[in-house]
Amino acid sequence: MHQKSKRWGAAVALIAAGGLLAGCASSGSSGDVTYWSAFVSKDTERYYQEHYVDAFNEQSDDAKVKMEVKQLQNLGSLTDTAVSAGRGADVVYSAGPSSALGFASAKRIDALDDYAAEYGWADKLQPWAYQASQVDGTLYSVPVEYGSIVMYYNPGVFEEHGWTVPTTLAEFEKVATEAQAAGMMPVGAGNSGYQAQSEWYLSAFLNMAVGPEKLYQALTGEAKFTDPEFVDAITLFQQQIDKKWWGGGKDRWFTNTDTDLFTGLADGTVAMYITGTWSFGDAGRYFGEAAGNDAEWDWAPLPSLSDDVAPGVYPMAIGTSLSVNSASKQADAAAEYIDFVIDDPARSYDYLAATGQNPPPLSDLASMPDTVDERSARLYTEAPESGNLGYASWTFFPAATDTYLWSEFDKIITGDLTPQAYLEGLQKVFDGELAAGKVITPFEPVPGA
Amino acid sequence: MTSATARIGAGPAVRRPRRRRRLVAWLFIAPLAIVNLLVIGGPGLSSLLFSFTDWDGLGQANFVGIDNYVELFQSPNVLAAIWHNLLWTLFFLIVPISMALLGAFLLSRLRRGQVLFRTLYFIPYVLATIVSATVWRQILSPDAGIGAALANLGFDGLAGVNFLGDPSLALGSVAFVNNWQWWGFLLVLFLAAMQGVNPALYEAARLDGANAWREFWHITLPGIRPTLMFLVLMTVIWSFLVFDYVYILTQGGPAGSSDVLATVLYRTAFSEQRAGYASAMAMLLSSISAVVVAGYLILRKKLDWDV
């Protein structure tokens, strides 16, 4: 009896261990399509669960999606770790095509060309986004969230000072000079709490002062980051920071947070704030009734800071791309879910209206409902139609180059590095990544757009 | 013959229990040894191998010889981070240990209220790092922190001082905050060690007319030497592994002024996606700890320390 119970104990332990290991492999049942995601709020998560996951599961006869919610801060690293080990969810998250390129090079995600043909993704997506998601002509990821960088401003403050939204360097300098004379911070900037925040401004500045065409040439290896256009741009940026136009200069840059800058925009202590359109969803927290003031916010496309750059450039950024895990046993169902996410423009724009979440870069712009905030609707119709599209660094620069861009830029702010030396370092890192095939092929800019 | 027979006869009987005891000892050690082998030995060995490759954390790892190590010692950012680690080590060897020794010695002489003070000093240590770091970020803010509050009261000596945003102050400010949490822990350990020192030694010293300083120097310090040396050793090792406070408060900035090896390693591995190069940094960190431990063991043997 004693021996028998020992054997039973061993059997139970084995079954338990087997169960644990099975749990590591997949947290869903065998027929589930697993998907890891993260959300800025519980409300957004609930909306997504109901209108995407549950809606898909209701209309699908065989495939069922099981979403696991991770922390926003570590979704990327969790996915990297799992996918690199040949595990992870069936639908693989990546923070844009550059991240997806790493998975594709390691053959951790499937080529999607067959699915693209089956579901007509080339027609559903804007051409630039579809092109950016390809690796050597093969589609590996589907962009499901996109945005840009724009200039936020407070129309009441602009009216009070008699300013018009700047579109050229001269106009930009006029507003900045007058704002500084009025005791304001001319342009909001800072990276306290999130060091990489500097690249939001840097990406904007490169697009404003160097322009999409030159950036395209640098990203494809035709031009160098050490070319005079880039050196002049970084020198101009450094001069403007030294004048305390951006973020109040080096004394304040490392202290300002995104919250400080939106608060300043609302209370009239910050004149302009150049940052991502991801803030459309929560900018309302700082303005109007919710914030206990009567301020309003609006946005304008970025001004041109060079004669060679057309005003109104939109640096394009893909925040989230989805791919199919090459280890997935539910590849077809995973692709079916990805198609579901981008298939219905009304669903995407309703999601935008309800939560402020960036929509996929859909080619259908006509389905934008009236319920979408006018400012969001304007962005998502005007930007694609303008054709003046640029490149956000976190989407189009490879990982090490991008990290160098924002981490070493601190030294430009403090004056510890010259623009020339900074750009030489940037080019060196980029050369290594270009040679290693880690640079995505950027979409071609529209000349003179 | 008789004794030989007895020895031969007694041999297996004596050896069997000894062998069984040894077997039992191994059985006790085995689970921990296996776990260590799996979670430390395995990843450690793979890190060593990856440190000679250009692995990006996802794809194929190509052998690059000692390139990563050469780059490591030529990188201004890595060298700056090592220098910051050394400064950090120096700070933590002097400031918290001195504070804790002094505090523990004074507390050990208290007859009443010792538990209260010990608890008060220990509380910061049990707070989650993220909580205390976030609170301190507010306290050190030039706009809403202690400088601004004092300025409102008419004391403007700290007004506008940007503790975490000024490259010349950032590292020291982070070390200050970390010390705030750390020194109380050391104090409790030192106090416990001091309570193990024979009270008769203090009585004898007082009879001989020794003052408090002499008691501390000649009785307390030698009496707690095992604890002191252990904590010095651990301080050196922990100082090279420091990450949490630096990452939460400054992320190594501004301009790398508070970067330490662990923050550079983290950025290299997860932001730059250069896992091979980051593995070389991890090897450097492990080597530093190994050298410290080896140095300690050699010193202990040479000086015949009883720890």
Are β-strands A32-37 and A64-69 bridged in parallel, bridged antiparallel, or unpaired?
A: parallel
A 255-294 residues inside an 8 A Cβ radius of B: 255, 260
Provide the residue range defining the domain that includes B105: 67-303
Domain boundary among B25, B50, B75: B50
* Chain A residue with the nearest C-alpha to that of B62: A436
Judgement on whether residues B102 and B192 belong to the same structural domain of the protein: yes
In this prediction, residue B13 has a pLDDT band, given cuts at 50, 70 and 90, of: low
Please report the pLDDT score of residue A213 as a whole number: 95
Judgement on whether residues B113 and B22 belong to the same structural domain of the protein: no
Contact B254 A400 (CB under 8 A): no
> How many domains, in total, are found in chain B?
2
Please report the pLDDT score of residue A4 as a whole number: 44
Contact B255 A106 (CB under 8 A): no
- Segments making up each domain of chain A, as ranges: 26-140+317-386, 148-313+389-435
More confident residue, B93 or A26: B93
Judgement on whether residues B7 and B107 belong to the same structural domain of the protein: no
Judgement on whether residues B97 and B198 belong to the same structural domain of the protein: yes
Please report the pLDDT score of residue A6 as a whole number: 43
* Chain A residue with the nearest C-alpha to that of B247: A193
Selecting from A106, A399, A400 the residue whose C-beta is nearest the C-beta of B59 gives A106
Judgement on whether residues B187 and B277 belong to the same structural domain of the protein: yes
More confident residue, A153 or A30: A153
Judgement on whether residues B130 and B276 belong to the same structural domain of the protein: yes
Query: Exposed, middle or buried, B2 (CB in 10 Å: 0-12/13-18/19+)?
Result: exposed
Judgement on whether residues B45 and B75 belong to the same structural domain of the protein: no
Would you state the structure tokens that stand for residue A219, as one six-digit string? Answer: 């990203």
CATH code of the domain made up of A26-140+317-386: 3.40.190.10
Give the CATH architecture of domain A148-313+389-435. 3-Layer(aba) Sandwich (3.40)
Decide if A26-140+317-386 and A148-313+389-435 have a common fold: yes
pLDDT tens digits along B224-260? 998 999 899 999 999 999 999 999 999 998 999 999 9
Sign of CA dihedral B194, B199, B200, B206: positive
Judgement on whether residues B36 and B142 belong to the same structural domain of the protein: no
Contact A210, A309 (CB under 8 A): yes
Contact A323, A112 (CB under 8 A): yes
A 104-133 residues inside an 8 A Cβ radius of B: 105-108
Contact B165 A413 (CB under 8 A): no
Arithmetic mean of pLDDT over chain B: 90
Task: Name every chain B residue with its beta carbon within 8 A of the beta carbon of A251.
Answer: 162, 165-166
In this prediction, residue B4 has a pLDDT band, given cuts at 50, 70 and 90, of: very low
A80 inside 8 A of chain B by CB: yes
In this prediction, residue B10 has a pLDDT band, given cuts at 50, 70 and 90, of: low
Within 10 angstroms of residue A431's Cβ, the number of other Cβ atoms is: 14
B162 inside 8 A of chain A by CB: yes
Judgement on whether residues B137 and B279 belong to the same structural domain of the protein: yes
More confident residue, A66 or B5: A66
B142 inside 8 A of chain A by CB: yes
Q: How far apart are CA B271 and CA A399, in angstroms?
A: 6
In this prediction, residue B57 has a pLDDT band, given cuts at 50, 70 and 90, of: confident
B134 inside 8 A of chain A by CB: no
Judgement on whether residues B45 and B71 belong to the same structural domain of the protein: no
**Residue B269 counted as domain residue:** yes
**Residue B288 counted as domain residue:** yes
**Residue B219 counted as domain residue:** yes
pLDDT tens digits along A318-366? 999 999 999 999 999 999 999 999 999 999 999 999 998 999 999 998 8
pLDDT tens digits along A53-103? 999 999 988 889 999 999 988 898 899 889 988 899 999 999 999 889 989
**Residue B56 counted as domain residue:** no
Q: What is the CATH number of the domain that holds B137?
A: 1.10.3720.10
Which one-letter amino acid corresponds to residue A194? Y
Model confidence at A14: pLDDT above 70 = no
Q: How far is A179 from chain B (nearest CA, A)?
A: 21
